[in-house]
Chains A and B, each alone.
Chain A
Amino acid sequence: MANRLARLVNIRPGEGAFAALFFLYFFLVTAPFNILKSVRDASYLDDLGARNLPYAYATAVLIGGVVSLHARLQARLSRRVLLLSSLAFFAATSVLFGLLFAWGEPWFGAGFRRWLPLPFYLWVNVFNVVLVTQFWFSVNDVFNPREAKRLIGFFGSGGILGGFAGGVLTWLLAGTLATSGLLFLSGGFLGAGAVVVLLLLREQGRRGETAAGPSAGRLTKIGFGDCSSAVRSDSYLVLLAAVVFVTGLVSTFIDWEAKAIVEGSVAGGARTEFFGVFNAGLLAAAFLFQLVLTSRLIDRFGLRLGLMVTPAFLLLGVGGLALWPVLAAAVLLKGADKALGYSIGQSARELLYIPIPQSLKYKAKAFIDMFVNRLSRAGGALALLLLFLPFRGDASRAWPWVIGLTVVAIGAWAVLNLRLGRAYVNTVKSQLGQTWERGEEVVGHRVDVDLAKLVVDALESRGRSQTLYALHLFDLLRSGRLTPEVGGLLSTGLADAAAPTRNPMWESDEVPWMPDLSDAFPSEVLEKNVREIMALPDYRNLMAGYARRVLSQLDVAAETEKMELAKALGMMGPDAPAVLALEDLLAECSPDVIRYAAASAGELRRREFVVPLVSKLADPRTRDDARLALEKYGGRIVGSLGDFLADERADEGVRREVAAVLARIAGRDAAGELLESLAAGAGALELDLIDALDLVRVRNPDFVFPAAVIEPMILRQAARLRSSAPDGEDIVLFKLLGLLHNHEDVFRAYESYRKGTKDGVAYAVELLDEMLSRELREKILPILERRP
């Protein structure tokens, strides 16, 4: 039975006692609050009437002082002392008000007794602000977003059940106990609450849960100014404060509308019972809604949609009340406001605080919940008084204006909620920090790979041949990479570089001379000259003959000449007859010759070189150079590469490398080839193809991949993970998700997930929760949450 209940409310093993204590804590705060609230509303309408309600609402401005005092107490007291002393204070003052309601008139006179409901109204509001806020502080301290999202329905239902119990008790006991008796009963509930808090703190200590925030021990000192500037400094918090303010405005207008109807429809002596029944009834509805639907609704439709539920219902309710201003319509509207506010509204709002950094959260929550929320009541009161002014105290004539203002405020609320929902996702992202970056991109962003290769090759060539070295220098020069720093690096140890050469010019006894650009012609002159020389027909014919001569040499000594030739051919232009020698050079045994030939083939990009280059992908010594060369062809060889990829008879290593080349080419056609192979069933290449598509996605964030192809793969991968696939395969799932959703966000989540901490996983899952489709959410998130 207990297990079934735990499953119903989404409590996991080991959380039962802790969750139950939080449930009870909230119950024992809201039960007395609902008793007090019924007494508050009835006594106010009885003694002062609905026309004076704006003054009661206006007492909310005094809440600012309470917030300030509470903040100071937070700064000075440990959480244990703060929670227990607050409960003790309200228990004692509840009894005191009970005494004043009973004997206030004989002790202090009729005037005192008539206006007693006004300070009592303020006191009940302070009770609500302080004790309810302290409860949510405690929840925020202990639970991460995922836990809170899962358990918030259960805790919230504790509060609603408490409110229901308070309402029923008021209804049952109002006739026998009178006002003072109900207040003594409230004091008793608060005493029991103190006992539960003691047990809760002990359980928290036993579990070793320590809150990162100030409430873990002695709180850091935060004043009202600190709280206010903390909110103003953060646009998300400003938005949250605006939503809370407008919510309060709407609630104040609805409260007045409903009570004005109640005053005219329910007789004076029966109002405490009426409010008791009313509060119990609406809380019963809220309880069921909270227990069964709130978490599931937010889980299924997300927080953003959850935020829109209350404004939508209230808009309908206000419309109904405008058309039929009767008690039933008022009860429905007020009931919707409170029931939805207690359940989904409160839960959603608490979730909105969770991604805020701890350093800001306490200040923001104190300011928004205790001050902005109350200020909104005062704002509502002021708006009502201003609307009443033209009608000289006959508030009923202002009715249509109040209705109109309520509709406008609900509209503003909905708009702000939409913006807040978007801002929430961004705030969760900001909590996750830096996104995970692919190795290629890290290297690409931080290192000029081409420059590094050129410089290394140039340095290496100094020991081989001056011509090869000169070719490298020229390459650096024409690519604009021969900076003073690179020049300095290349000239290091130049005098010691013994350069073996067969050229007669160096057969003298002089110290070998190495090419140097320090006194060369200006680069543009040199480059133009070389280009024009290489276009000369005589030059081309001579070089073709030279190439034949060099290729005919089979001895090892010809290796350097072949390297020089391979390098020079890359500069000659694709239409020079000599460049066809690259096909033969690519077939050479020497990896160094192949390296240069591949680089030149990549420069010239003639179709004849594609097949020899692909064949070089099989050899680890030439693989990188062949891959780089093929990448330089770009989209024009995608079809040919696709054929290699699809050829199941071809070497698996070559096909794997072809996939990597296609990934780096990264165009739509390349993505199409990769996707086609993946969809056709890539077998052993599946992970390589997914990785290749991931790289395409990184380089082309705007590409749209077909969900119909990717989603089944995601679900297959999720099933693999469920059946305990190796740890390293988690990333495959994220790569697939990144093909369908914002890649950066998905990998921000991955970075957080791979930390492996409880909070890291929770924040990752929370972000995915906001972006995935319902089906994927339901299938994947539980797996990620439960992975070891």
Chain B
Amino acid sequence: MIIHKRDKNSVVVFDIEGELKRSDITDVTLHQLVKGELDAGRRRILLNFEKVPFIDSFGVGEILASYISTHNLGGRLKLARISKKLFLIFQVTMLDRVLDIFDSEDAALQSFLKD
């Protein structure tokens, strides 16, 4: 799994590439990356899942930990471009009701402006 970071409209965007799962763990996890940004004072974070074909419970755990950390600091963490296949997991676990999930990056970025 590779994670690229970029800035867009003052939102930190993490482009995740590859499967987000326990067996593909990298030296620095998604949660650590998010925490790093939070420590740097950033409060708007977008996770782009366009190139993520699979997420396991470990991956979901990373997302939830990132969400909680951000939320607890008064920030916003949103998700975008999750495939329909992956989205079913979020629906079945009701996380689609807890997390902010968008089908496009632009829509997600627009939503930060409304917060």
Q: List chain A positions with a Cβ less than 8 A from chain B.
A: 466-467, 470-471, 473-474, 503-508, 510, 513, 515-517, 519-521, 526, 529-530, 532-536, 538-539, 541-543, 546, 561, 564-565, 568, 571
Contact = CB atoms under 8 A, between A and B. Distances in A.
Nearest to A521: B85
Nearest to A477: B92
A158 to B, nearest CB: 83
Given A504-B100, A505-B102, A520 B93 contact: no
B101 interface: yes
A521 B58 CA distance: 16
Contact of A517 (B57, B88, B93, B94): B88
A169 to B, nearest CB: 98
Nearest to A542: B98
B64 interface: yes
A533 B88 contact: no
A532 B88 contact: no
Interface stretch (B8-16, B34-42, B103-111): B103-111
Nearest to A469: B91
A533 B100 CA distance: 18
B89 A526 contact: yes
Nearest to B65: A538
A533 B93 CA distance: 8
17 contacts: A466-B91, A467-B91, A467-B96, A467-B97, A503-B101, A504-B107, A505-B96, A515-B91, A517-B88, A519-B84, A532-B56, A535-B57, A536-B57, A542-B67, A546-B94, A561-B97, A564-B94
A515 B61 CA distance: 23
Interface string B49-77: 00000111100110011011000000000
Nearest to A519: B85
Given A470-B91, A564-B94, A529 B57 contact: yes
A506 B92 CA distance: 16
B103 A533 contact: no
Contacts of B104: 508
A313 B92 CA distance: 80
Nearest to B93: A533
Given A532-B56, A538-B68, A542-B68, A503 B96 contact: yes
Contact of A504 (B61, B68, B111): B111
A504 B92 contact: no
A469 B63 CA distance: 24
Nearest to A538: B64
A303 to B, nearest CB: 65
Contacts of B88: 470, 473-474, 515, 517, 520, 526
Q: Is the interface of A mostly helix, strand, loop or mixed?
A: helix
A521 B103 contact: no
B107 A513 contact: no
B69 to A, nearest CB: 10
Given A505-B103, A564-B97, A533 B60 contact: yes
Contacts of B55: 529
Contacts of B56: 529, 532
B101 A543 contact: no
A696 to B, nearest CB: 38
Contact of A470 (B60, B68, B92, B102): B92
Contacts of A503: 96-97, 101
A177 to B, nearest CB: 105
A513 B61 CA distance: 26
Contacts of A466: 91
A136 B101 CA distance: 89
Question: What interface size band does chain B fall in?
Answer: 20 to 34
Given A508-B103, A521-B54, A530 B68 contact: no
A505 B106 CA distance: 12
Given A508-B104, A533-B60, A536-B64, A543 B84 contact: no
Given A470-B91, A508-B103, A533-B57, A543 B98 contact: yes
Question: Which residue of B60, B67, B82, B111 has the most chain A CB atoms within 10 A of its CB atom?
Answer: B60
A536 B60 contact: yes
B104 to A, nearest CB: 7
Nearest to B53: A521
Given A470-B91, A546-B98, A513 B68 contact: no
Closest 9 CB pairs of A and B: A532-B57, A470-B91, A538-B64, A474-B92, A568-B94, A533-B57, A533-B60, A505-B103, A467-B91
B65 to A, nearest CB: 6
Contacts of A521: 54, 85
B93 A568 contact: yes
B109 to A, nearest CB: 12
A471 B91 contact: yes
A568 B94 CA distance: 7
Contacts of B111: 504
Contact of A543 (B65, B68, B92, B94): B94
A513 B93 contact: no
Contacts of B107: 504, 507-508
A282 B87 CA distance: 97
Nearest to A472: B92
Contacts of B64: 536, 538-539, 542
A539 B102 CA distance: 20
A536 B61 CA distance: 7
B35 to A, nearest CB: 14
Contacts of B54: 521
A516 B85 CA distance: 8
Contacts of B87: 505, 515
A561 B84 CA distance: 21
Nearest to B114: A504
A530 B56 CA distance: 9
Given A471-B91, A521-B85, 5 more contacts: A470-B92, A471-B94, A515-B88, A543-B98, A564-B94
Nearest to B84: A513
A582 to B, nearest CB: 14
Nearest to A568: B94
A539 to B, nearest CB: 6
A504 B102 contact: yes
Contacts of B68: 538, 541-542
A539 B93 contact: yes
Contacts of B82: 505
A477 to B, nearest CB: 9
B97 A534 contact: no
A470 B8 CA distance: 33
Contacts of B92: 470-471, 473-474, 526, 530, 568, 571
A508 B107 CA distance: 8
Contacts of B100: 504
Contacts of A533: 57, 60-61, 89, 93, 95
Nearest to A506: B103
B83 to A, nearest CB: 9
B33 to A, nearest CB: 17
Contacts of A536: 57, 60-61, 64
A566 to B, nearest CB: 11
Contacts of A474: 88, 92
A529 B85 CA distance: 13
A561 B97 CA distance: 9
Contacts of A471: 91-92, 94
A467 B94 contact: yes
Contacts of A561: 97
Given A536-B60, A538-B61, A542-B64, A530 B93 contact: yes
